[in-house]
Amino acid sequence: MPQSFIRVVLHTTFGTKYRRPLILPEIEQALHQVLDAKLRDMDCRVYKIGGAMDHVHLLHGLPRSHRISDVLREVKARSSCWMRDHGYPDFKWQTGYACHSADYRDRSVLERYIANQKAHHYGSVAAYLEKASRTQVRRTFEDEYRTLLDELDLMYEEKYLFAEKG
């Protein structure tokens, strides 16, 4: 029987509900490990995970046996449960996500972009750590998300991008 070979590399981004800054430095690495483990459980190759206090970026593969929506539903559900079990009872991810294909040959560029999220949003890692107790952000997740959608030439309606605080 002939084999089928595919390589699908995706860059996925999603935020916390209402962009609440709940991914604090003391829990960030463990949350990223939960995201990594769930992706791997679903046979997705994981290249890089990073983010800021209100969102994550995942650079990952997609096996031919899974749909993007199924993978992300499972990843978000598992990590939400883990956050609630670890002292964040009101933690939820936003309903949607941004996900686009990435050229596997340019993976290193995206890996650096994801690794530098703290500097991207806060100016430096030190400023990120300071932000954990303050409110100043260099570039908001909302701005980054809109820019990503625009660069990918994706159509969207502004009123549906982010849920208002309830």
Domain total in the chain:
1
- Mean pLDDT of the region 57-72: 95
35 found inside a domain: yes
Q: Residue 59 sits in which domain range?
A: 9-155
CATH number of the domain at 73, please: 3.30.70.1290
Asked if the structure places residue 88 within a domain, the reply is yes
pLDDT tens per residue, range 97-140: 999 999 888 899 999 999 998 887 777 666 656 665 555 556 67
Is residue 160 domain-resident? no
CB 25 within 8 A of CB 132: yes
The answer to whether residue 146 is domain-embedded is yes
Q: Is residue 3 part of a domain?
A: no
Closest CA to 54 of 125, 150, 122, 113: 122
- CA 124 to chain CA mean position, Å: 19
| pLDDT for 31 | 98
Residue 142 in any domain: the answer is yes
17, part of any domain:
yes
With respect to residue 74, please indicate whether it lies within any of the assigned structural domains: yes
pTM comes to 0.77
List the one residue out of 151, 130, 114 whose CA is nearest residue 36: 114
